[in-house]
Amino acid sequence: MTTSPRHRRRISALLATALVALGLTTLQGGTSAAAQPLGDPTAAQALSTVARFQGEWNSPPATLSGGETVDAPLLGNGDVGVAVGGSVDDQTFYLGKNDFFSTATNGIEPLGRIVLSVPGLAGSGYHVVQNIARAQVEGTYTLGAEKLSSTSWVSATRNLFVTTLRLSGSRPQQATVTVQDGLGKTPATSSGDGVLDADVQAGTTDAPGNPHARIATSVRGTAASVSGNRISLTLRPGVTYTVTAAIQSSHDTSRYRSVAHTEAAAVSGGSLAELYAAHESWWREYWSRSFVQIPDQAVEKSWYGSLYLLGSVSRSGKYAPGLWGNWITGEMNWYGDYHANYNYEAAFYPTLSTNHVAQMGNYDDPILDWMPRGKAKAAAAGYQGVLYPVGISPDGTSAADDLYNQKSDAVNFASDMVMKYEYTRSASYARKVLPYLEQVGLFWQHYLTWDAATGTYDIENDAPQEGGVYPQTNSILSLGLVHLLFQGLVDMSKDLHVNDALVPAWQHIDQNLAPLPKMTRNGQTVFRQTSEGSGWVTDGNDVAVQAVYPGLQVGLNSSADLLQTARNTVAQLDNWHSDNSPATLYAAAAAVGYNPSTLMEELHSEATAHSYPNMAVHHYGGGVENLNVTTSGLDEMLLQSFQHDIKVFPDWPANSNAKFGGLLAYDDFLVSSSIRDNAVEYVRITSRSGRNLTFTNPWPGRTMEYYVDGVHQGTLSGTTIKLHTEVGESIDLAPAGTGEATVRHELSQPAEAATTTSLTTGFETGQTQPTWTDTVDNVDTNGDGDYGVTGLCCGLTGPQAAVRTGEQAHTGDAALMYSGYANGGSYDHAYMQVYGFNGAPLTVRDDTELSYWIFPQSNATTPWVDAGSDNSTCVAVDLVFTDGSDPRDSGATDRSGNGIHPARQCGHLMPDTWNQVTVDLGGVKAGQAISKVLLGFDRSGATGGYRGYVDDLSIG
């Protein structure tokens, strides 16, 4: 979101006991026949993998207000969402609903709250698990010998919220269940049939058409008394109690009051058993569609966690989720609307590559509903086609009816539509969205300016960011999206045999749009935001690479120059963890083959330092858009197809075993593959559309075995292979000499763990290069990777650690240069990231040594170090192990007897000469594994510059 002037565990023993008490049974095994082809092991591997991951809390969540992503346990069914806050003496279930937009503000409003209070257990120990495999939250609250266990879930198939409670101990406990409106106030209530009915509305103003809802709550397992908005009951040890709340809004049905009441009153052990079986079945089928298995378990967990949140927040046939999904706890920033400039779109991109297309079923509705206003808005401004503002809301309304000098909102909305068609090739979908896309195309046909001198179409007066002051010509964002639009229009029209008269004009525009603007920065060619207007903007956005993603105009089949420009741009943006970039930057970087080790390490940071226990990746201003960070970022590293050429492991770190199954590629192909010891083991491609298949040979220069539905068809060779396919046909490809039985065996096995055995580098071309450049470690140093250290000179913004050639080297021509300026603080230090091994940790054996050469500079060899200063000697190579420990704090020494902490090296290294430092790692860390190599400067109270070089680094 660019700056805008507006407000911005497997099933538990508890649940098994509770279900038995209610007469419920659980379903075991099995998957939907529609999920994967017969005999495909994807479902089994997916279900076993997701079961490993859960969110966990040992204290109540702290971020429940503020209008953004909450850190609470989360539940949802794509319509109703529940965030769980507080402990058992005052536990609040915040209820949200995707359709609860106020007609007074056109902003989403909280629907209600259910407060569970067991005051006798105040001060209890708190342990809560978010079980994503079963889509439920399991709580344990212990006070001495007393323990209350709970399990909560939102039915996947009905708008019913369920919490079961079971007390163990020696005495009963008094409890209350209080129903409130979305702001925590007392709503209008009534009761009957053992049901407490609470009627609420969106917001505080009863405007025409404002949605209303009923929360119908009941308790089963005891005789409970209802008074006002409260149900009182006694919890007795060994008895299971079930709190249910049926939720219906006036958008669901005009009879929402009676429907909600009837559903709550009808809840029984038998009906709840059926409902839970349906809930479990839905989520089992959902998880069966695809899987990834990679060495970095934090990133893998984040991928599954993002898919859990996706399945919880969006469902076909329901209102689409706004910026914050259905976890609405109060007044939400930016009205929680459908923000057009990447936020709304990004939340749906991961539905495609992960093979969860159904979760995109509601994406188009608010956009298509806005078409009459879009046409009117365009006409009022003197344009044809449609013109959309930055923030629309449901049913043809708008929360922010302003363009902010951008013309790109409607074409940004179009990006998901084009992608969905290219992935699925669904004719019915094309017919649904083509009228909208034609109107967007009509606008651009007449808005573009033809420059006869250059033979190009230019885009004038279109800001790449909100509020950019004109002139703004050829916004790189719009260029990418307009290309994508007309490519989609041509493909859909040709497949449907329509628009024959328009296709040539659309092709002409696509072929002759102005080139992506470029500039020189820091000696490299990079993309700039416009050809005239905004150039290089350092504000946490990644607009400069959005023609790569989501524009999809640069990929591995593009020219070498274009690819290098894109990689340079990604590197110089360095916006991995900013507020607005992560949702699209990772996918863009992977699409152009950016250093995969860096990508994996930065994704690791997203999954750890930038994620809540509920697995929501969070950055300021970014809500469900961040569902796309790990999912599409990782998927583009594993599989690329947007240039209609399937590539497996196109941007994957070396020495990192991995496996995926059921990922979706362009032209409706399901793809599964595995890589081990840097070699692809097999590729399985299942055709769901019967289209022609193009793929890049994953065994360059070698022939491959070719099987169709298990029958050998011969061998294939070449760099790019093209095949005809039939609907439902499964193609297995493997290195020459591999039998089909071997392929099937490998398909059924989990990925093997990978490790790195050693690292030896002199930083020369062709040797292992650093994962990062000039990057402070704020992950493993808990956000305190530097203190009191700034750039050495010359406008540098921070400390450095980067490869330099032709300056100073122990051997060869290259070395790792380090520098910084200490400002006299009590804890001056800077720990810089150099190498990452999360993809394949480097195992420390008994005989493993760390060795490197270091050249600390004094004033004799650099003017940037003060005369007499030995600051440059307070530097050492440091490591981070997978358990989070480091050698600098272990008390270990080098062969000279000096401590290996950077501060312990001060004065022991000779300036202006090469010093060898050798450490017996095996003696202090044998059996552990290294996840990261750092270079640290550390000297309390230091003042002035430091600079030097490190070369011939070896671990092994």
Residue 783 is predicted with a pLDDT of 67
Q: What is the pLDDT of residues 724-740, one digit of tens each?
A: 999 999 999 999 999 99
| Residue 838: pLDDT band with limits 50, 70, 90 | confident
Strands, E assignment, 763-813 = 775-776, 786-787, 789-790, 800-805
Please tell me the number of Cα atoms within 13 Å of 858 on its side-chain side.
13
For residue 713, pLDDT beyond 50: yes
- Distance, in Å, from the CA atom of 841 to the CA atom of 825, rounded to the nearest integer, reads 35
Residue 7 is predicted with a pLDDT of 28
Residue 431 is predicted with a pLDDT of 98
For residue 475, pLDDT beyond 90: yes
**pLDDT (average), residues 289-308:** 97
Q: What is the pLDDT of residues 765-775, one digit of tens each?
A: 999 999 999 99
**pLDDT (average), residues 890-902:** 94
**pLDDT (average), residues 489-493:** 98
Distances (CA, A) of 492 to 167, 355, 424, 477, 599: 59, 21, 11, 23, 34
Average pLDDT of the chain, as a whole number? 93
Taking residue 785's Cβ as centre, other Cβ atoms within 10 Å add up to 21
Assigned token pair, 690: 């019967």
For residue 262, pLDDT beyond 90: yes
Nearest CA-CA partner of 551 in 510, 519, 520? 510
Residue 555 is predicted with a pLDDT of 98
| Residue 39: pLDDT band with limits 50, 70, 90 | low
Nearest CA-CA partner of 672 in 39, 2, 113, 231? 39
For residue 9, pLDDT beyond 70: no
**pLDDT (average), residues 246-257:** 98
464 prior amide bond cis, ω within 30: no
Q: What is the pLDDT of residues 791-836, one digit of tens each?
A: 999 989 899 999 999 999 999 999 999 999 999 999 999 999 999 9
Q: What is the pLDDT of residues 531-564, one digit of tens each?
A: 999 999 999 999 999 999 999 999 999 999 999 9
- Choice between 574 and 756, residue whose per-residue pLDDT is larger: 574
Global confidence as pTM: 0.89
For residue 4, pLDDT beyond 80: no
- Distance, in Å, from the CA atom of 109 to the CA atom of 211, rounded to the nearest integer, reads 10
Assigned token pair, 914: 């090469």
Q: What is the pLDDT of residues 872-883, one digit of tens each?
A: 999 999 999 988
For residue 434, pLDDT beyond 80: yes
For residue 30, pLDDT beyond 90: no
Q: What is the pLDDT of residues 147-162, one digit of tens each?
A: 999 999 999 999 999 9
Q: What is the pLDDT of residues 70-90, one digit of tens each?
A: 999 999 999 999 999 999 999
Q: What is the pLDDT of residues 924-933, one digit of tens each?
A: 999 999 999 9
Residues above pLDDT 90, as percent of the chain: 89
**pLDDT (average), residues 324-328:** 98
Range with the poorest average pLDDT among 8-22, 529-543, 709-723: 8-22
3-state secondary structure of 212: strand
Residue 32 is predicted with a pLDDT of 36
Residues above pLDDT 70, as percent of the chain: 96
Residue 6 is predicted with a pLDDT of 27
Phi/psi at 42 (5° precision): -55, -50
